[in-house]
Amino acid sequence: MLKFVKNFLEKLAKENEKSFGTGRLDCCDLNKLKKTSTQAANGTSGK
């Protein structure tokens, strides 16, 4: 049973790293929209 939980947590950590990157997850940073290269070229902010 312990091996199952350990494997589950490792898979979850890998998926979270894939989704959110390796940086610190701060609630203020998660709610900000990031400019894509096309938005930056067009001058739009997405709001």
Residue 39 lies in a domain: no
How far is residue 27's CA from residue 12's CA, in Å, rounded to a whole number? 19
Q: By the 8 A CB rule, do 46 and 33 touch?
A: yes
This prediction has a pTM of 0.47
Residue 44 lies in a domain: no
For residue 6, what are the domain limits? 2-33
User: pLDDT digits over 1-47, tens only?
Assistant: 899 999 999 999 999 888 878 877 777 766 666 665 555 555 555 54
How far is residue 33's CA from residue 20's CA, in Å, rounded to a whole number? 13
3-state secondary structure the chain: CHHHHHHHHHHHHHHHHHHHCCCCCCHHHHCCCCCCHHHHHHCCCCC
Residue 43 lies in a domain: no
Residue 10 lies in a domain: yes
Residue 9 lies in a domain: yes
Residue 46 lies in a domain: no
The number of domains in the chain is 1
Instruction: Look at residue 22 in the predicted model and tell me its pLDDT.
Output: 82
Residue 45 lies in a domain: no
Residue 11 lies in a domain: yes
